[in-house]
């Protein structure tokens, strides 16, 4: 198949719409549903990310995409008991690829609502069973077991989008796009991200453990397929905060940092001990937790809205308790798709437990950024490579 007609483009008024190849066959097969224009943009961007993560680490990888940027990405390492609880994966049988998706989805469950899932490996029954419980628009993977495909075909009243991609497909070396009737052309971004990018450590502290190297690679690869400007926080083989599409670097760092803080707060004993009403939907539980850990919760308590969600009136998580809990964060890695222009980015990252940083370098204020890292004993590597994606 060289062409696939779509219902419409980004918006319903944008017709006609299609995806096609000038030469050869499309490397994708739609196994179920009718994916749209944005679905395929998410699918193809997310597939590039998980394919690159698998190549760089040798581990199964997954991503949860929304609006052509990852809400989360992760490697297929085992889930801890706490992770199973905060990702709503208690009672699920898990495989390495299922663990990867559960963690990718769990990084920012609010932003992953209605996501596009991407898997580096064949989708198995364990992954499909977890996906069946989530609000999701579709999935791309190099293959599906019979059991997994049967489960996914029951989702969204039989309309769940399931796309299979040829894992051996390689894009043309030159890519072309049209904006406002004008043709743009550039070389495909085939820059390989590997551990050699982390060799130029410019700080006094040069101790970069293997686990941190893994996390920094995950961060950089995630940034390569995230709409710029972007900053990404990573811990234990999964993103915990992605700040995408901001015009200001510090706003990226703050946005990603606030998501990392929320990820940490979800593990607070008060959050783990929340008693929800019976049969509450997973999205409603996500929303309730997000409100509970926010500064708005005491207002909600005053309004009495808590009865719609909780069996017992929860004790508020105070600002002091949140600050103390977040202060326990450590061993976090952060990457930036372009240089940090000021030390304020390091100051903000440090508040979310960041101890390792990878960024291109090249700012006229590099000395200030390095000095700020040295002030806190943070390890920073200059990669020398910008990772813009638009």
pLDDT in tens, 81-128: 999 999 999 988 899 999 999 999 999 999 999 999 999 999 999 999
What's the pLDDT at 39?
97
Cα dihedral 334, 339, 342, 345, rounded to 10, equals -20
Closest CA to 237 of 213, 257, 209, 265: 213
**Are 147 and 8 contained in the same domain?**
yes
What's the pLDDT at 263?
97
Cα 122 from Cα 238, distance rounded (Å): 20
What's the pLDDT at 295?
83
Helix axes 125-132, 96-106, angle to 10 degrees: 30
State the residue range of the domain holding 64.
Answer: 3-165
**Are 249 and 191 contained in the same domain?**
yes
Cα 12 from Cα 314, distance rounded (Å): 43
59 within some domain: yes
What does each of the 390 residues of the chain score in pLDDT, given as a tens digit? 588 999 999 999 999 999 999 888 999 999 999 999 999 999 999 999 999 999 999 999 999 999 999 999 999 999 999 999 999 999 888 999 999 999 999 999 999 999 999 999 999 999 999 999 999 999 999 999 999 999 999 999 999 999 999 999 999 999 999 999 999 999 999 999 999 999 999 999 999 999 999 999 999 999 999 999 999 999 999 999 999 999 999 999 999 999 999 999 999 999 999 999 998 999 999 999 999 999 888 777 667 767 788 888 889 899 999 999 999 999 999 999 999 999 999 999 999 999 999 999 999 999 999 999 999 999 999 999 999 999
234 within some domain: yes
Helix (H, G, I), strand (E, B) or coil at 219: helix
What's the pLDDT at 23?
86
Structural domain count of the chain: 3
**Are 362 and 294 contained in the same domain?**
no
Listed residues 130, 145, 165: the one ending a domain: 165
**Are 185 and 161 contained in the same domain?**
no
**Are 112 and 251 contained in the same domain?**
no
**Are 60 and 137 contained in the same domain?**
yes
**Are 32 and 144 contained in the same domain?**
yes
**CATH classification of the domain holding 96:** 3.40.140.20
Residue linked to tokens 């075909």? 153
60 within some domain: yes
What's the pLDDT at 252?
96
Q: CA dist 286 to 63, 207, 293, 332, Å?
A: 19, 38, 11, 24
What's the pLDDT at 307?
78
User: Are 246 and 227 a contacting pair, CB within 8 Å?
Assistant: no
Give me the active site residues, please: 66-67, 229, 390
Exposed / middle / buried, residue 70 (Cβ in 10 Å: 0-12, 13-18, 19+): buried
**Are 37 and 152 contained in the same domain?**
yes
What's the pLDDT at 299?
76
What's the pLDDT at 302?
64
**Are 206 and 275 contained in the same domain?**
no
**Are 88 and 231 contained in the same domain?**
no
Cα 82 from Cα 88, distance rounded (Å): 10
Cα 276 from Cα 351, distance rounded (Å): 31
What's the pLDDT at 355?
98
User: Are 335 and 232 a contacting pair, CB within 8 Å?
Assistant: yes
Listed residues 165, 188, 216: the one ending a domain: 165
Residue linked to tokens 């949140």? 322
**Are 335 and 247 contained in the same domain?**
yes
390 within some domain: no
């Amino acid at each position: 198949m060289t062409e696939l007609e779509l219902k419409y483009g980004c918006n319903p008024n944008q017709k006609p719409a299609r995806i096609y190849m000038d030469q050869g066959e499309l490397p994708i097969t739609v196994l179920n549903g009718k994916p749209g224009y944005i679905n395929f943009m998410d699918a193809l961007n997310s597939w590039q990310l998980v394919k690159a993560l698998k190549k760089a680490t040798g581990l199964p990888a997954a991503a949860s995409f929304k609006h052509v940027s990852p809400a989360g990405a992760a490697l297929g390492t085992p889930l801890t008991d706490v992770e199973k609880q905060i990702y709503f994966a208690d009672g699920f049988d898990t495989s390495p690829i299922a663990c990867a998706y559960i963690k990718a989805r769990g990084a920012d469950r609010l932003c992953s609502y209605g996501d596009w899932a991407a898997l580096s490996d064949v989708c198995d029954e364990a992954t499909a069973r977890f996906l069946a419980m989530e609000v999701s628009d579709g999935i791309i993977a190099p293959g599906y077991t019979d059991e997994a495909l049967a489960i996914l075909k029951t989702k969204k009243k039989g309309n769940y989008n399931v796309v299979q991609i040829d894992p051996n497909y390689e894009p043309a070396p030159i890519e072309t796009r049209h904006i406002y009737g004008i043709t743009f052309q550039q070389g495909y971004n085939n820059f390989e991200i590997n551990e050699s990018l982390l060799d130029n450590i410019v700080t006094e502290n040069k101790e970069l453990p293997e686990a941190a190297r893994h996390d920094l690679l995950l961060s950089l690869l995630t940034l390569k397929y995230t709409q710029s400007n972007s900053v990404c926080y990573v811990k234990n083989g999964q993103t915990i905060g992605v700040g995408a599409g901001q015009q200001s670097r510090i706003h990226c760092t703050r946005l990603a940092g606030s998501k990392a803080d929320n990820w940490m707060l979800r593990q607070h004993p008060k959050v783990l001990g929340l008693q929800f009403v019976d049969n509450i939907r997973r999205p409603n539980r996500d929303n309730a937790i997000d409100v509970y850990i926010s500064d708005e919760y005491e207002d909600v308590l005053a309004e009495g809205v808590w009865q719609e969600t909780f069996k017992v009136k929860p004790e508020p998580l105070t600002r002091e308790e949140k600050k103390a809990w977040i202060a326990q964060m450590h061993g976090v890695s952060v990457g930036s798709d372009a240089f940090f222009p000021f030390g304020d980015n390091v100051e903000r990252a440090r508040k979310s437990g960041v101890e390792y940083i990878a960024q291109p370098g090249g700012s006229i204020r590099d000395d200030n950024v390095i000095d700020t890292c040295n002030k806190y004993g943070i390890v920073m590597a200059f990669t020398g490579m910008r990772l813009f994606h638009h």
